[in-house]
Amino acid sequence: MNSTLKKRLTGSLFIINIGCIVLALLGALAPYADPFKYWPVAIAGLLFPGVIVLVVFFGITWLFIKKKRALYSLTTMLICIPAVYITFGIHPFSSFSEPKDKAALRVLSWNVGLMNYTETDTIVAIKNNITIFQKIKATNADVVCLQEFFSEIVPGHHYNIMDSLARNLGYPYYYFSRDVAKVDGNFFSGSIIFSRHKIVDSSRSVFPLTGLYAGSIIRTGILMDKDTINVYTSRLQLMRFQGDEYQELHNIKTVSGNTISDTKSMIGKLRFGYHFLSQQADFIRAVLDSSQRPYLFAGDLNNIPLSYTYGKVKADLNDAWANKGRGFGRTFQYISPTLRLDHFFYDDHFKLLQIKRILEEGETDHHGLLVDMTIKAK
């Protein structure tokens, strides 16, 4: 290779390297930046997993070509360590013991996709719901937090999934948000918390955005021996992906169709969606700040760790996946293998023992999170 060509090639690589560095640094800032004002930062957060891998690649490559240039990537890697930690789950030897410790509180959080309410094939819907029941039963969880739950509310009726689950799986206590009325007003969707321990009180805080999304965050006060803890769950709304949005994403990925137009359209929708999410996140944080008890939050934030939504809701809480998880911890089966949208946070009154995913097999579009923890001695 002649010197001129080599110089041009290394120059081009360095420009790409700098671009990746800028994106990585912007992505690392995503949890702290208002996504409506600084939407490129929010987009950079989505790209961070792939970009940081490229930064590492360039850092290693420059060591063999021009060592001084490696410093740019190596410095970026050091700055991005906190972002890497919450993104990847760097615990390669973590495992999960199925038998539950007697002193442990086992909590399951799972978005169950409206219990297949939108499935047009009744047989498939029933089969999928049976699978959901079986998987919940197999976890032996003490507390079950379900998002996008759907049930009839009339006692004894065939589609009262709420009572059926409570009765057959041994959860005598539960609280249902009933966010959205369906069919004839006897069916509702929303979030629900089931518990084998006594629920002493409960509350529902409705998002102040009812014109856009009739959602809420719910709380149950659960009696654990001599301690009472607050368990919160919620599902945030980003934007409702329909066929058009998935087609736009496909066009962008495959560089087909009108890629520029599709990209602009998707960025515009994401910008609005992120602003919408940030308002919900601010509301949830205010609710969590009002807790007078040890508490945990388990739910579907509809956003990744490197996002304002995650940063706002987590605040000074602990992230179970970041502390004990392994790998990306993907919880949403579409679009990208890096989408960990469901999260489990807890305060310093708890000690985390273990965490794993409950893998879906078509019965819903989310994987669940199963967590064991204990309450620290006072």
Residue 188 pLDDT: 93
- 8 A C-beta contact, residue 308 and residue 278: yes
Q: In the chain, what's the furthest Cα-to-Cα distance?
A: 82
Residue range 345-363: mean pLDDT, rounded: 95
- 3-class DSSP state of 354: strand
Residue 267 pLDDT: 67
Name the strand (E) or helix (H) holding 11.
helix 3-29
CA distance 14 to 23: 14
Q: Is the pLDDT of residue 251 over 70?
A: no
| DSSP per residue, 186-254 | TEEEEEEEEESS-EEEEEEEE-S-TTT---EEEEEEEEETTEEEEEEEEB-------HHHHHHHHHHHH
Which domains does the chain show, CATH number per domain?
3-88 (no CATH), 105-375 (3.60.10.10)
| DSSP per residue, 34-98 | -TTTSHHHHHHHHHHHHHHHHHHHHHHHHHHH-HHHHHHHHHHHHHTHHHHHHHH---TT----S
Nearest alpha carbon to residue 216 among 128, 290, 280 = 280
The pLDDT > 90 percentage for the chain reads 67
Q: Is the pLDDT of residue 338 over 90?
A: no
The average confidence (pLDDT) of the chain is: 89
Q: Is the pLDDT of residue 246 over 50?
A: no
Cα end-to-end distance, the chain, whole Å: 69
- 8 A C-beta contact, residue 21 and residue 28: no
Tokens of 358: 């409950």
Sort strands 295-300 and 227-234 into parallel, antiparallel or unpaired.
parallel
Convert the pLDDT of each residue in 93-137 to its tens digit: 888 999 999 899 999 999 999 988 888 888 999 999 999 999 999
Based on DSSP, count helices (H) and strands (E) in the chain, helices before strands: 10, 13
Give the confidence band of 337 by pLDDT, cuts at 50, 70, 90.
confident
pTM: 0.90
Q: Which residues contact 35 (CB under 8 A, 6 or more apart)?
A: 41, 42, 271, 274, 275, 277, 278, 307, 308
Q: What does DSSP assign to residue 366?
A: B
Give the confidence band of 378 by pLDDT, cuts at 50, 70, 90.
confident
